[in-house]
Amino acid sequence: MEGRSWLKRLLSKPLAVAGLIIVTALALIAIFSPYIVPYDPQAIDTYHILEPPSRAHLLGTDILGRDCLSRLIYGARISLLVGFVAVGLATLIGTVLGALAGYYGRWIDGLVMRLVDIMLCFPSIFLIMAVIAFLEPSIWNIMIVIGLTSWMGVARLVRAEFLSLKTRDFVLAARVSGASDARIIFYHILPNAMAPVLVSATLGVGAAILIESSLSFLGIGVQPPTPSWGNMLTEGKDNLEIAWWLSVFPGLAILITVLGYNLLGEGLRDALDPRSRD
């Protein structure tokens, strides 16, 4: 009943439903991209360079004659892969550290929170750029670096939930019955602390996609010829006066994707918040 209750509250919010539709559509596009692209996204066609949108090429072609729609569709796969892997890594690290800090407290809590404070002293994008500058630009390095520099918010959320839940009666009953610390943490407390983590992860996917696009736009992210919305924007920037479609469509893709995840995240936060119940 509780699961259906929060789902009903989520579906009652038009903006959250719009976000869910956008996220679902993007996931389907990414999964089935090899079957729905009209052209090979890396196929060079020197006879159709910088053609505007037409019936043959719905979103036009780039400086090498490659179909922009095909590259945009494959770029969705890259962006979502980066978003999910990076956020998954950040959520895993933040959940483990936050759970240990909140449950055990004392010096463990102090150590984890001081580490969080140190990481938060550096603006995330500059920290990521500094690390990437010393590594080979690749999609895997980008995902790992984003994940390793984005866990602090999750850790603080999980810590706060554990501090609140570890004094509840069901936790005290489990401790009296002889349950181990690991069982109490992962079986009794953590499932009840996952609501804010789910919201944070949903919002984090949009942020990770935006970071990846920024890095690719600057030339230190996904490298050509692999299609990425960020490096497509770079090509568009260099030809903005004569080929507007090279910048407009990747920019809209980034905007719609980030907006979709933000709307879904906001809807989940309202739906999972007990105070929002009717």
Report pLDDT for 155: 92
| Helix, strand, or coil (residue 61) | strand
State the Cα–Cα distance between residues 14 and 39, nearest whole angstrom.
Answer: 35
Specify whether the CB–CB gap between 277 and 10 falls below 8 A: no
pLDDT classification of 1: cutoffs 50, 70, 90? very low
Report the C-alpha dihedral over residues 56, 62, 65, 71, rounded to 10 degrees: -70
Report pLDDT for 222: 81
Task: For 204-239, write each residue's pLDDT tens digit.
Answer: 998 888 888 888 888 888 887 888 888 888 888 878
State the Cα–Cα distance between residues 134 and 148, nearest whole angstrom.
Answer: 15
| Helix, strand, or coil (residue 67) | strand
pLDDT above 50 (res 192): yes
Mean pLDDT for all residues in the chain = 85
Q: Which domains does the chain have, with CATH numbers?
A: 2-36+67-276 (1.10.3720.10)
pLDDT above 60 (res 276): no
Report pLDDT for 277: 47
Calculate what percentage of the chain has a pLDDT beyond 90: 23
Which position has the higher pLDDT, 54 or 3? 54
* Best CA proximity match to 164, nearest among 199, 189, 201: 189
Report pLDDT for 278: 46
Q: Identity (one letter) of the amino acid at 61?
A: T
Beta bridge partners, 61, equal 67
* Best CA proximity match to 209, nearest among 109, 79, 116, 119: 79
Specify whether the CB–CB gap between 72 and 59 falls below 8 A: yes
State the Cα–Cα distance between residues 232 and 68, nearest whole angstrom.
Answer: 9
Report pLDDT for 273: 67
Helices (H), the chain: 2-11, 14-31, 33-36, 68-104, 106-120, 124-133, 139-148, 152-165, 169-176, 181-183, 194-217, 229-238, 245-272
pLDDT above 80 (res 117): yes
pLDDT classification of 195: cutoffs 50, 70, 90? confident
**Looking at residues 95-105, what average pLDDT do you find?**
89
pLDDT above 70 (res 181): yes
State the Cα–Cα distance between residues 158 and 116, nearest whole angstrom.
Answer: 13
**Looking at residues 235-264, what average pLDDT do you find?**
89
Q: Identity (one letter) of the amino acid at 275?
A: R
In this prediction the pTM is 0.86
- The set of residues, in sequence order, having a beta carbon less than 8 Å from that of 169 and lying 6+ positions away, is none
Report pLDDT for 257: 93
Report pLDDT for 275: 54
Q: What are residue 186's phi and psi, to 5 degrees?
A: -90, -20
* Best CA proximity match to 91, nearest among 211, 205, 188: 205
Report pLDDT for 258: 92
